Chain A
Amino acid sequence: MNPLLEVRELTKHFGGVLANDRIDLAVNAGELVGIIGPNGAGKSTLFELITGFAKPDRGAIRFDGRSLLGRSTYEINRAGIARTFQKMRLFLGMTALENVMVGAIPRMDDLGEVRARARECLAFVGLADREAMPARALSTGFRKRLELARALATRPRLLLLDEVTGGVDQRAIPALMALVRRLREEGVTVVAIEHNMRVVMDLCDRIVALHLGHVIADGPPAVVSGDEQVVRAYLGHAAA
């Protein structure tokens, strides 16, 4: 069976910085893959390239067997990929419901249907009673949920999460993790960039570690977290 997402030899320079250097990555349908790596490892760049926000210098990206190269972001979303952002990009002046409606609109014609679908997604993330609040008025934890709901409204097959627990109150993290697990149970394949090692170890089937634009490890959480190169990348040479 072909992987749902297949990235080959993906390379991207920003000026003199090699942000992604011949990255290979395959994600099968139904997997929950974590991407780890120190700051500047190229994790977010990888997401930028997959979602068409930046153009790769070289390499291939295939989703469900079809190349995504040269396609615009909205087409990539319609193909079945949704994403949340590291620095959340909510429509702050719009209500929670309106935020989610945007994601539902390209897939349905009737405004009533759009609203109903948006309410479903809000309920899924536990924001049903806050639909009339402006996104601006929500706490960070709720904003993360709203971003998730918005991505879900597009009915993705693959969801890219960029630090879904970043900046969130420690107590709010278990609930967010439970949400990601439920998503996977609903049949969504998830790739999550995550800094919190406890979260990754707990949540993911497989971990991919990046360092300076390279994949330095790819395997089950227990193996990757013990990997000598990974430990060295995080803690420096002395620790290894």
Chain B
Amino acid sequence: MRRRVTVATTGVAVLGLACLGVPFLLGNYGLHLLVLVSMYVALSASWNILTLAGQLTLGHAGFFGVGAYTSALLALRLGVPFPLGMAGGAVGAAILAAGVGFICLRLRGVYLAIATLSLVEALKIVVLNVPDFTEGPIGITLSPVFRGARLPAYFVMLGVAILPVLATVWIKRSKLHVIFGSIREDEGAAQMLGINTTAYKVFAFALSAFFAGLAGGFYPHYITYTVPDTAFNIGLSIEAQIMPILGGLYTVAGPVVGAVVLTLVGEYLRTTFGAANLLIYGIAMVLVILWFPDGLVGLGRRWWQARVPVPVREGVADVR
């Protein structure tokens, strides 16, 4: 038990120092990659929160896009500075998600995934069809945040990435850990034990979307524009799902590991193999998921336990 805590603490300390120190050594390209990694950590960790409560969704691109457009429109129409715009985007995404969660209460599994996926397309079509307000397919151009300096932009996105991870830690240490677990395993049984599953599911939707909206709220300020195709890009929903699965579902570290590995590997393949990169990426994904169903974190844990025998903690749902 103690050894495990030490490992975790050391890991967090090293990672923390790396996050804060390494950027100073990097050029613009390296910093841009780190911004992307952080953005994907935010999406992946926030998706994982909703999944902790048993809600398999593909709507994260929608929540991200609402964050992006809310923030960009606030800047364009009202001259709102980006931190307030981000807050607006996050709150907007959370409100939307609470509504979606409420409407989709009775949908389970794949049906919920399909419904939330169609939300992304629906939102894109809405944005495209009111060009007087949203600028339509041309999108919105913004002036570069921090006058184009990458380092401060990275630190903002790093903050955005840390929040959903901290939220996951909080969930795991509070009553929510057991409540979300019960909803994930058997919603009816949870209700029979007095759990207001509706309220907790809607809360999970809102909390998860809040962080996705926050990331979305910053992104257009960073890349200086937003268009419907990139803001409401179904690919984002898929990645937000694949990253935690690859890293290790329901864990704190899994979504982070998955986002870091997949973003960097994806970038390496893209620059090295050109057009074939997605093929290789896809095959690698399939193999990893087939061979390591509990993700990279699970793999690492097994490797560690084989090296340093510690009493195995029982209880699958309690895995951190």
Contacts and interface: CB of A to CB of B under 8 A. Distances in A.
A89 B193 CA distance: 11
Interface in B283-320: 313-318
Given A85-B189, A91-B181, A94-B316, 10 more contacts: A72-B191, A72-B198, A74-B191, A90-B186, A94-B317, A102-B182, A105-B175, A106-B195, A132-B313, A134-B317
A42 to B, nearest CB: 20
Interface size class of B (residues with CB under 8 A): 20 to 34
Contacts of A74: 191-197
A103 to B, nearest CB: 4
A98 B178 contact: yes
A151 B190 CA distance: 11
B201 to A, nearest CB: 12
The list of the 10 closest CB pairs from A to B, nearest first, reads A95-B315, A106-B194, A73-B191, A91-B185, A89-B189, A77-B194, A103-B193, A94-B317, A102-B182, A93-B316
A136 B186 CA distance: 14
B10 to A, nearest CB: 26
Contacts of A89: 186, 188-189, 192
B33 interface: no
Contacts of B175: 105, 111, 114
Nearest to A105: B175
B171 interface: no
18 contacts: A53-B188, A72-B191, A72-B198, A73-B192, A74-B195, A78-B194, A85-B189, A91-B181, A93-B185, A94-B318, A95-B317, A98-B181, A98-B315, A101-B178, A102-B193, A103-B193, A105-B178, A111-B175
A205 to B, nearest CB: 25
A91 B189 contact: yes
A83 interface: yes
Nearest to B174: A111
Main secondary structure of the interface of B (DSSP, over half): helix
Contacts of B314: 95, 132-134, 137
A74 B316 CA distance: 26
Contact of A102 (B188, B195, B313, B315): B195
Interface string A43-78: 000000001010000000000000000001110011
A132 B318 CA distance: 10
A57 to B, nearest CB: 21
Interface residues of A, number: 35
A235 interface: no
A148 B186 CA distance: 16
A153 B193 CA distance: 8
Given A95-B317, A95-B318, A98-B178, A51 B194 contact: no
A90 B315 contact: no
A189 interface: no
A51 B316 CA distance: 30
A151 B192 CA distance: 8
B179 interface: yes
A82 interface: yes
A137 B185 CA distance: 16
Name which of A74, A85, A101, A102 has the most chain B CB atoms within 10 A of its CB.
Answer: A102
Interface in A76-134: 77-78, 82-83, 85, 89-95, 98, 101-103, 105-107, 111, 114, 132-134
Name which of B181, B188, B189, B193 has the most chain A CB atoms within 10 A of its CB.
Answer: B193
A150 interface: yes
A165 interface: no
A105 B185 CA distance: 16
Interface in B159-199: 174-175, 178-179, 181-182, 185-186, 188-198
